[in-house]
Each structure stands twice: as C-alpha cells, then as structure tokens.
Amino acid sequence: MLQTKTQWLPGPLAGALTGCALALLSGCASQPQSPPLTQDEAREVTSEDAWAATPEAAPEIAALPFAQTDALTRLVLLQQVFERYQGVPYRYGGMSARGFDCSGFIKTAYREAFGHLLPRTTGQMVVVGQAVARDQLQPGDLVFFDSNGNDGHAGIFMGDDRFIHASTSSGVRESSLNSPYWRPRYSQARRLFVPAQVAADNP
C-alpha cells in the first residue's frame, strides 16, 4: 500500500511537507505470450477508457505551476489524493468518487494536487509534456502501458518503482512497475513539469 512510502521520508521533512500540502491545499488488452497474471491483475485485460485509435491532438500545455516544487512535495500532495480515493471502483468514463477510469483518475489527481487541468483522455495525455527515461522517473510523471499497440493505460509514478492508477480489477490502487504484468507492458513516460533550475532560468 502507498502508506509504506512514507517510511523512507525523513520524519521532520515528511511532517513539514504534509503541513505545506495541507496549506496549499486508468485497462489494457491482453497480448500474446504475456506473463501469467496475478489474481489482482487477472481482470486488467479489458478495454481501457477513452483511448482513440490514433493519438488525439492535445491542447498546448505550459510548464505546470508546481515547476519549482521538489519531488518529495509532489509525492506528499499526490499521496493525499491517493488516500482520498484509494479503493474507489473502476468506472468507464468516470471522473469522480463514484468511479474512475485511468485518465479520469489522473486528471482528477492533477487538478486536486496541483490545480492543473490535463487533457481528458489517455490518447491526449500521451502527447503532452516531454519524454522521460524510465530510470529518470520522478513523482508526478505519467507512465503509460501498451494495449494492443496503443498506450491505452496510464498512471502516476510515485517513486520506488510504484505508480497509482485506476485499475479495472480493483479501482484506484498502487501497483509496481516491476510486477510480472506491468513490467513487459511499460511503454513510456511523460513529464509535465520542469526542474526548478530550468524554471528559474526561463522565467
């Protein structure tokens, strides 16, 4: 569960970040020769939410207003959103506490954690921001997974090879990028913020 992530945060820093955060205030289609699914993932092989056959045009999105925030602050803000919605069931087209699809959860998480509006669909999200290598992932990066040739499932990276997403099998949950199911399906990641130094150099 995501709560275990706070174990590696320094106690005083975690408390301070939480206080700061309070003050600031979707699966995939099965593919041949895929590894066996775990019980929790056995139902992931269903159609994803609002993915188009070809990537959709996405509106221009500037660097997010949390560009200057550090990774730990982003993690705390996202963790609060995750804890608020953990276990909410999967719902095709959903974008509320009654149910989420994968892109609906991402859009809601970004809005509530950072006050930023993302495109609605996975097909739009996959073309925004900048590509980032897997070994360079930071909390807040979007991670995408292959679904019959399309990046049809997505989640939000949280650190330590973990990501949060709206799973068709168990709703909003945390999963491992290294699980037998998700590891071979990992496709790419996108970063929708810029490092603090870059932001400072480009006011």
Q: Of 45, 50, 46, which Cα lies nearest the Cα of 126?
A: 50
Closest by Cα among 148, 145, 149, 99 to 125:
145
Torsion sign, CA atoms 65, 71, 103, 149: positive
Q: Check if 102 is active-site.
A: yes
For residue 88, what are the contacts with CB-CB under 8 A and spacing of at least 6?
A: 97, 98, 99, 100, 166, 171, 172
Does residue 165 have an active-site annotation? yes
Which candidate in 20, 28, 102, 116 is catalytic? 102
Task: Using the structure block, give the residue that is written with the tokens 């929790």.
Answer: 40
Could you tell me if 85 and 159 are in contact, meaning their C-beta atoms sit under 8 angstroms apart?
A: no
The residue annotated as part of the active site, out of 20, 28, 116, 153, is: 153
28 catalytic? Reply is no
Q: Which of 100, 72, 74, 75 is nearest to 85 (CA)?
A: 100
C-alpha to C-alpha distance for 162 and 174, rounded to whole angstroms: 7
DSSP state of 81: H
State the catalytic residue, choosing from 20, 28, 116, 165: 165
- Which of 150, 186, 172, 160 is closest to 56 using CA atoms? 150
Which residues form the catalytic set? 102, 153, 165
